[in-house]
Amino acid sequence: MLKSLATLSMVMMSGLALAQVGTSAQESGHAASEKAKEVGDTMKSGVESEPDRSIDKAKAHVHKAKAHHHAHVAKEAAKDATH
């Protein structure tokens, strides 16, 4: 009985750690994606006329903010996974 309880406890703990690592990896992927979109919009704004340039610069700022948010969430999830 004691062995099965210990095994169940270990399985639950490892499941929680894997969930945090999965969250960290997912958020890191989102951050990289948003960063790529930001770079794309910034590059696009460099060759466009003024109205479109302003729109693409605004989009790039939004992508930068989202990338920063996802990176922060990934960092927190990684911290939680190691504790």
The residue extents of the domains of the chain are: 2-82
Would you call 12 helix, strand, or coil by DSSP? helix
Q: Is the dihedral of CA 57, 60, 66, 69 positive or negative?
A: negative
SS3 assignment, position 1 = coil
**What is the torsional sign of CA 9, 28, 31, 37?**
negative
pTM (predicted TM-score): 0.52
Helices marked H in the chain — which ranges?
Answer: 2-45, 50-82
pLDDT in tens, 21-79: 566 777 777 788 888 888 888 888 777 777 788 888 888 888 888 888 888 888 888 78
C-alpha span between 63 and 44 (Å, rounded)? 14
Tens-place pLDDT, residues 1-14: 666 656 655 555 55
Binning pLDDT at 50, 70 and 90, where does residue 83 land? low
